Every structure is written in structure tokens, then in C-alpha cells.
Amino acid sequence: MSAAIEIPYVSRERPDTGLYNARLGVWLFLASEVMLFGALFSTYVLLRTGAETWPSGAEILNVPLATLNTFVLIGSSVTMVMSWASLQMQNFARFRLFLGLTLLCGLIFLVAKGFEYHEHLVHAELPSHSTFFAIYFVMTGLHGLHVVVGLIVNGYLWGPGAKMWRTDPTRFTNRIEVAGLYWHFVDLVWIFLFPTLYLLPGK
């Protein structure tokens, strides 16, 4: 009567919904994240339309570095989905390689971001300087925080978490898929953040 309980549909899919639990869970989480970043985009729009003047990214941000970062993050999305595909092909070594590359790209992204921030701070371009910098730091900062969390999760799955491949490969593959969905979302947010902050013309 007090044996450990078994939650169904952790690995296999429930027939009528076609989903395993974590896949539904992560999509619900991503929906809430859409609303979170959506509120920040609303803020950007409102602050910009209410402002007399608004700088273009080219004037005050490091567009080349951010462009590089965009390539890096997109690349990490490719390697992330490739790591999941490798597991589906039962190739654990390739999975490790691709997930490792994903981690590396993520780290490069953060280092570049850190460099960008540092440049702004030493030139007294603080969030308090203007509403542009305020929304710039909050949007990229929150995004960066999401990158950090993604790296921690992916790092765990690359390291100690990978033991599950031997005991429960289906469940482990699902975990990589779920982590991948989160990581792609982080990439997706940046795909919108980058042009909004760095490329839009000023006024």
C-alpha cells in the first residue's frame, strides 16, 4: 500500500493526447515565457513611442559583436537538436559531442555579452542613463539569465545526468528533447531581441 508510486506517461506517450508529461509541461512553461518577454516587448514599444528621440542600435551598441553572438546562438540551436537526433540514432558519443558544442557556444555567448556590458559600464552607460539603456539591460539581462539556466541544465545532462542513458534511455532522450525545446526558445527570443535592440532605426 505504501510502495513508491508510478506516474504514468513519463517516458511513453498517452495515447489520446500523444504526449508524454514533460513535453506538455515544457510547452506550457514556454507559453508563460512568451508572456514574460512579451511584456518586455510591450514595454519597449510603449517607451519608444512615448519618447521624443530614440537611438538606433548602431549609434550606441556593439552591432558586430551582437551579430556574432546571433550566429553563435543559432549554431548552438543546431548542435542542440543534433544532440537529440544523435540519441535517437543511439549514438551516445555524438550526443555528447554535440551537447558539448552547445555548451561551448552558450559560454561564448555569455562571454561576449559580458564584454559588451563591461564596455557600457566603463563608459557610464548604465541602465539609469536612459530608457533605452534601461530596457536594453533588462531585456538582454533577463535573456542572459535564461542562457545561464540553460547552461546549468545542459551541463547537468552532459555530466552526471547522462548516467540515465544506461538505465532508462527513452526517458533520457525525452529529457534532452525537453531541454532542447527550452534552449531553442532561448534562441527564438534572441532572434527577436537582436533586431529590436540592435538593428531598428532610431527616431
Residues 33-62 contacting other proteins, CB under 8 A: 33-43, 45-47, 49-53, 57-58
Question: Considering the complex, what minimum distance in angstroms separates the CB of residue 119 from other proteins?
Answer: 18
8 Ramachandran zone, left/alpha/beta (phi>0; psi -120 to 50): beta
Write down how long the chain is: 203
Three-state secondary-structure class, residue 123: coil
Q: Mark 123-140 as b/e (b = at least 16 C-beta within 10 Å).
A: eebebeebbbbebbbebb
Distance CA 45, CA 193 (A): 12
The binder of other proteins chosen from 107, 112, 153, 191 (CB under 8 A):
191
Residue 38 or 114: the one with the smaller Cβ distance to other proteins is 38
The binder of other proteins chosen from 60, 95, 173, 179 (CB under 8 A):
173
Asked if 75 is part of the footprint of other proteins (rule: CB under 8 A), the reply reads yes
| Interaxial angle between packed helices 169-194 and 63-88, expressed in degrees from 0 to 180 and rounded to the nearest 10 | 160
Per CB under 8 A, contacts with other proteins among 100-159 are 126-131, 134-135, 138, 142
Residue 53 or 93: the one with the smaller Cβ distance to other proteins is 53
Question: Considering the complex, what minimum distance in angstroms separates the CB of residue 153 from other proteins?
Answer: 14
Which helix (H) or strand (E) is 132 found in, with range? helix 131-158
Asked if 74 is part of the footprint of other proteins (rule: CB under 8 A), the reply reads yes
Question: Considering the complex, what minimum distance in angstroms separates the CB of residue 99 from other proteins?
Answer: 14
CA-based nearest residue to 33, from 153, 174, 182:
182
Per CB under 8 A, contacts with other proteins among 8-27 are 8-14, 17-19, 21-22, 24-25, 27
The binder of other proteins chosen from 62, 63, 100, 108 (CB under 8 A):
63
